[in-house]
């Protein structure tokens, strides 16, 4: 839902460049604001998914209850690892209504399998993927950053609002917000995801075993684990993909790793689209 972040992530992927270098380029091209916080920290996408979810679910979604994470911590190493495992990293704004009527609405980076259409939405293009009954899956895409796409969107909204002035019998769904019931939200801690975890650790016996044991003790199964030696400093870069597990369990494991003397740093934790 945000062309600026998609442009940055695509350029990082294609060029192997850092976030800071690509952001500077995006600002010079007019794809990013002088203060890019609203885009790169996920605020813009969060506002959009809040509105879309409210209309789609018929219940009011409060912006402050939408979990939000930006792209500023994504590194070229993450991009390379994702490619090697068959994924692309995208900033995904998602909204899902559970069978018991609770809403899961959030914005954060995800590893998207290259078999998915969203993995191939690049540069300033935006895309919305919908799942409905009985239509199934539908994906709509179009330009999402730059002066002309932005102007077109704003003027289109103004014209749509103007055309509805004075009407009382019927309003377009996108022009009305009369939902009095607030949606019950699923806290991020209770959501379930697969995860990509990047760790730098001592290149010594037992480190992989410590990682596996901590995950096992918190009900987390590992789908894959790859260890690569970092030349010259007796360290290893370890990349983990988990099976589906609870967010709170994953965060507990990360806390354990942050306090493990054999682990130098937890570099990245990114959710994986199933």
* Sign of torsion over alpha carbons 227, 230, 236, 239: negative
For residues 234 and 230, give the distance between their C-alpha atoms in angstroms, rounded to a whole number. Answer: 7
Q: Which of 11, 28, 48, 88 is catalytic?
A: 48
* Nearest-angstrom CA–CA distance, 120 and 99: 30
Tokens of 156: 């289109």
Using alpha carbons, select from 1, 41, 2, 38 the residue that is nearest to residue 19.
Answer: 41
48 is catalytic: yes
User: Is residue 22 a contact partner of residue 13, using CB atoms and an 8 Å limit?
Assistant: no
Both tokens assigned to 258: 């942050």
Q: Please enumerate in sequence order all residues whose Cβ is within 8 A of that of 232, keeping only pairs 6 or more positions apart, or say none.
A: none
Closest CA to 111 of 81, 141, 144: 81
Locus of tokens 């493990």: 260
Catalytically active residues are: 48
């Amino acid at each position: 839902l945000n062309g600026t972040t998609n442009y940055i992530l695509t350029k990082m992927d294609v060029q192997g460049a850092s976030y800071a270098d690509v952001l500077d380029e995006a600002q010079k091209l007019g794809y990013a604001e002088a203060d890019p916080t609203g885009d790169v920290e996920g605020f813009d996408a969060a506002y959009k998914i809040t509105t879309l979810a409210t209309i789609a679910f018929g219940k009011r979604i409060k912006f402050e209850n939408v979990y939000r994470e930006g792209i500023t911590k994504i590194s070229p190493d993450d991009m390379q690892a994702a490619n090697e495992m068959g994924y692309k990293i995208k900033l995904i704004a998602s909204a899902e209504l559970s069978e018991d009527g609770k809403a899961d609405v959030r914005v954060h980076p995800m590893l998207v399998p290259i078999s998915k259409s969203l993995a191939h939405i690049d540069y300033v293009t935006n895309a919305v993927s919908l799942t409905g009954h009985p239509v199934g899956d539908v994906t709509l895409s179009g330009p999402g950053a730059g002066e002309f796409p932005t102007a077109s969107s704003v003027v289109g909204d103004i014209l749509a609002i103007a055309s509805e002035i004075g009407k009382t019998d019927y309003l377009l769904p996108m022009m009305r917000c009369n939902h009095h019931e607030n949606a019950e939200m699923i806290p991020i801690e209770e959501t379930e995801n697969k995860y990509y975890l990047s760790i730098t650790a001592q290149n010594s016996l037992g480190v992989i075993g410590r990682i596996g044991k901590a995950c096992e003790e918190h009900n987390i199964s590992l789908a894959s684990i790859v260890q690569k030696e970092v030349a010259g400093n007796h360290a290893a870069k370890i990349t983990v993909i988990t099976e589906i597990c609870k967010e709170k369990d994953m965060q507990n494991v990360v806390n354990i790793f942050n306090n493990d003397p054999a682990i130098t740093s937890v570099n990245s934790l990114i959710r994986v689209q199933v």
